[in-house]
Structure 1
Amino acid sequence: MELFLLCALLLYFYIGLKVRKELGGLKAEVVLLPSAIAGTQSHNTSYDICLSDYVTFPADNIDSWIVMVASATCPACHEELEQFLIENVKYNIPFFCLIKNDNITETDSFIENYKESVHIIPISEEVVDQMQIDYFPTFLHVIGDGTINKQSLLVKTLVKEFK
């Protein structure tokens, strides 16, 4: 009888852990759901901001860019960046990444992991706040003078501008 109770208790804890893990994954999906629904809708007013007031662009003679604003602690940022880098091989869209410098260790690791594939510019939390970026990742279509033409939570909506 004691063995049965011990097995039942272990099974109870095992099932509880599995359910908690599944709910944690569900929570992440629910958090990302607004980005899938939002498409090209803007969630802030960064259209009124000239990006070149905050960062120096990697090159001067480019007509337009896609700029990713990311946080090194954001798992979706890593996934979106990796996916875009794969897809961008066929489009060759000028691209760079602004990384929120909120955790020095994570930011350094992010830069080290992607420095061969993309130009990365660390920016402070203050600059992110001034740009009124609320969600990560956020993708910007920026024209040559630094004006933000379009903003999206999904890079695919901006890629269409370059096709």
Structure 2
Amino acid sequence: MYDYIPNIIIIALFIFALFIAILVSINFAFLMPVFKHVDTLRKKNKSNKVGENIYSLFNIPIISFQSSFILIISHATCSICYETLDKILEENIHKKIPVLSLLGSDDERNSISDFHLKFDKKILIIDIEQDKLSMNGFPIAPYYLLVDRNGEIIKNSAVFEMIENKWEEVERIA
């Protein structure tokens, strides 16, 4: 008498599974633009900058160094940038590592002036719009780039010691 009930359950489960499959495919269609955006961000990520030229990347004037140098991406209001740069300059005074800082800011004139007053006599500082840094995949500071004398990025890291060790290796070879 109730022989048709198992068939109805199987048909109901099939319709339910089909419904879930349609919902999943619709959601993935809605998410595709999000995934494309993530891919775009990944392409702009700083890890992909090795081999690029800093002068064209940041549209800054060409600076002549006789050797590779360390580019520090700093921010005018970043207390860690101040502390780290002080430490780097103090610990590496005998190595004479050429250092350049791209100083990002969001129009904090006092902070920019303070940074220049503290470090202008020790390193070369170039002011740059924070948006230009962020758009090129460098939203955090401090961040370190090892750059060859022609402006090409050799290595990049959020850890200074990794850049410092690579600089010493490059200088030994040169």
TM-score class normalised by the smaller sequence: 0.5 to 0.7
* Corresponding position of 2:151: 146
Verify the 8 A CA contact 1:62 1:94 in the aligned structure 2: no
Partner of 1:89: 93
Query: Are 1:126 and 2:131 an aligned pair?
Result: yes
Q: How far apart are 1:92 and its partner, in Å?
A: 0.7
Pick one of 48, 58, 63 that aligns with 1:45. Answer: 48
User: What does the per-residue CA deviation read over 1:27-78, in whole Å, with 9 as the maximum and x for residues that have no partner?
Assistant: xxxxxxxxxxxxxxx85433253101222244x2423110100001111101
Runs of 4+ aligned structure 1 residues displaced above 6 Å come to none
C-alpha separation in 1, matches of 2:75 and 2:60: 16
Describe the superposition over 1:77-116 as per-residue Cα deviations: whole angstroms up to 9, x where unpaired: 0111000001121211111111002222211111111111
Which structure's relative contact order is higher, taking Cα pairs within 8 Å and 6+ residues apart? Answer: 1
What is the correspondence of 1:58-137 to structure 2 with a 5 Å cutoff?
A: 58=63, 60-102=64-106, 103-137=108-142
Q: Mean alpha-carbon deviation: is it higher for 129-138 or for 46-55?
A: 46-55
Amino acid corresponding to residue 152 of structure 2 in structure 1: T
Task: Compute the TM-score of the two structures, normalised by the length of structure 1.
Answer: 0.67
Identity fraction in percent: 21
* RMSD, aligned CA: 1.8
Q: Equivalent residue for 1:24?
A: none
Q: 1:94 to 1:57 in 2, by over 3 A?
A: farther
Quote the offset at 1:158 in angstroms. 1.0
Gaps of 5+ in 2: 1-44, 169-174
SS state of the match for residue 91, structure 1? coil
